[in-house]
Amino acid sequence: MTRDEIEAFAMGLPAVTKVVQWGGSDVYKVGGKVFAVCGFENGLAFKVSEIGFEVLTSDGAPGRQAPYFAKGGWVVVDLDQVAMDEASGWLETAHGLIAAKLTKAAKAELGL
């Protein structure tokens, strides 16, 4: 997968914004809260559930704990080792996990 593919997909999700920060990484947010970071350690870092974290970081899995994010249940996968069709599901889930934490007022304002 490429950064362009990730951007095209992530920006198609509801109420997403993108900023470039942290050393040139593409940071995707919903309601001002980060759900994915592309370019971090030449990979894609994203929020996962507890079960998703276990599955994606177990032996032989494509992911590993995202440094600086791991306590919050974040995984990073290498861009060149994962197909976009697989990553799209992870991005949708990450978006949903973060959007679910927004206040009712914020969700209403964003149309979520």
Domains annotated for the chain, with CATH where assigned, are 3-102 (3.90.1150.30)
Q: Which amino acid is at 44?
A: L
**pLDDT tens-place values along the chain, 112 residues long:** 899 999 999 999 999 999 999 889 999 999 999 999 999 778 999 999 999 999 999 887 889 988 887 677 999 999 988 889 999 999 999 999 999 999 999 999 998 8
Q: How far is CA 74 from CA 3, 33, 59, 106, 110, in A?
A: 19, 14, 17, 23, 24
Q: Which amino acid is at 18?
A: K
Own/partner pairs, 11-14, CB within 8 angstroms, 24+ separation: 13/91, 13/92, 13/95, 14/95, 14/99, 14/110, 14/111, 14/112
- Tell the residue number behind the tokens 């929020």, with chain if given: 47
